[in-house]
Amino acid sequence: MQWANFSSWLIAGGLLVGGLVVLWALIDLLRSGAVRRRHAAAYFVVLLAMWVLGFVNGLVHAKDAFATMPEGLYLSAIVALLALVAAWIGYSGLQSREVA
């Protein structure tokens, strides 16, 4: 049963940090130019979907330990996959610069 408590705390921490990242992505979307707007919009949408599904995952994990399975596992896997996709989108826009 302790794994259910631990996973709930991990989800809460992920939602806190993820909320800050979603806010930063929204600011980046609003400040980006026309060239980067599609890239910033895709990044924001994936992050927002990740955060919303993470919130639903937190609600699922708030149930009894045996009642969270298998939905909690599936939601956690989907949220982790969305986090990887968001990281890929976010880092694909970076360009290396030479430092003089």
| Residues 23-76: tens digit of each pLDDT | 999 999 999 888 888 999 999 999 999 999 999 999 888 887 677 788 888 999
Q: Does 100 reside within a domain?
A: no
Q: Does 4 reside within a domain?
A: no
**Alpha-carbon span 51 to 41, nearest angstrom:** 15
Contact 72, 61 (CB under 8 A): yes
Q: What pLDDT does residue 6 have?
A: 84
Q: What pLDDT does residue 65 have?
A: 67
**Residue ranges making up the domain that contains 73:** 11-92
The residue-averaged pLDDT of 79-88 equals: 95
Q: Is pLDDT above 60 for 8?
A: yes
Q: Does 99 reside within a domain?
A: no
Q: Does 3 reside within a domain?
A: no
Q: Does 19 reside within a domain?
A: yes
**Alpha-carbon span 80 to 50, nearest angstrom:** 8
Q: How many domains does the chain have?
A: 1
| Residues 12-30: tens digit of each pLDDT | 999 999 999 999 999 999 9
